[in-house]
Amino acid sequence: MLSRSGITISPRSRSYSGENRGGWACGNWFEFLLVVVVASILLLGALGLVIFWVFYYRNGVGWLDEPELLFNYHPILMIGGFITLSGFSVLMYRICRCCRRIYVKLLHTFFHLLAMPCIALGFIAVLESHNRATPEPIPNFYSLHSWMGFVTMGLFALQFVVGFFSFLVLLCCESATASFRAALVPIHATFGITTFLLAVATCLTGLTEKVIFTLKSEYSGLPEEGIVVNALAMVLVAIAIFVSYALARHEFKYKSHMLVSIQSDL
């Protein structure tokens, strides 16, 4: 029997983990790098594409005296916060799979912290643009997109509070709270990917709503702007696929997660 950090490893588990390490041949590394690199490119590509759409087709962004341009902050900030930054946050446990766990947690938290002001400002931008619209204000929270967005923001905030409390604050009493934090890991992870996928779905409904309202009957003719928006939507769908695959693939998990998983099967 071997023991390290309170985890007992039997010869069986040592052999099993050795087989897993041996399984990381060229094909495994190629799969891992392909998924992570493509996911990262897509996350950055979504942000770049929405910025291109807003500035090339929607006349850029404006301030309070230009409600239509003020609205344009909304898609940029929401995709930047909910998709790009949150996407990299959840991918940290795959990209940094060989780093010390505490560093991965801090990077995970850092990207979440960057996403929060983006989401908050994007929410304020759409409210202000609706309230300042002329000749009369646009109603808020009537569409499916707005309802989904409200739920997504609530889950995102709840995830951050639970994660901050259980995985950062409780680390001050690491030995006393180890079992409690371990029990929260699968719950936190499940709600994390659920929130991310819901964010993707919310962005898709928002893009559809916006393009129908702005292009109206022209959209059925698939104009150039419609193609760009559809391409952005397909990038978001691809992000959902690649990020979900990266998180679901057992072999891609952070190496200490694999060790605990192996031990629990014995």
Give the pLDDT confidence score for residue 186 in this predicted structure.
82
Q: What are the pLDDT digits (tens) for 91-137? A: 998 888 777 887 888 899 899 999 999 999 999 999 999 999 989 99
Which residue ranges make up each domain of the chain? 26-265
Residue with more model confidence, 92 or 186: 92
Q: What are the pLDDT digits (tens) for 210-249? A: 999 999 999 999 999 999 999 999 999 999 999 999 998 8
SS (H, E, C) the chain: CEEECCEEECHHHHHHHHHHHHCCCHHHHHHHHHHHHHHHHHHHHHHHHHHHHHHHHCCCCCCCCCHHHHHCHHHHHHHHHHHHHHHHHHHHHHHCCCCCHHHHHHHHHHHHHHHHHHHHHHHHHHHHHHHCCCCCCCCCCCCHHHHHHHHHHHHHHHHHHHHHHHHCHHHHHHHHHHHHHHHHHHHHHHHHHHHHHHHHHHHHHHHHHHHHHHHHHHHHHCCHHHHHHHHHHHHHHHHHHHHHHHHHCHHHCCHHHHHHHHHHHC
What topology is assigned to 26-265 in CATH? Answer: Four Helix Bundle (Hemerythrin (Met), subunit A) (1.20.120)
**Residue 208 clears pLDDT 90, i.e. is over it:** yes
**Residue 9 clears pLDDT 90, i.e. is over it:** no
Per-chain mean pLDDT for the chain: 85
Give the pLDDT confidence score for residue 176 in this predicted structure.
59
Give the pLDDT confidence score for residue 182 in this predicted structure.
74
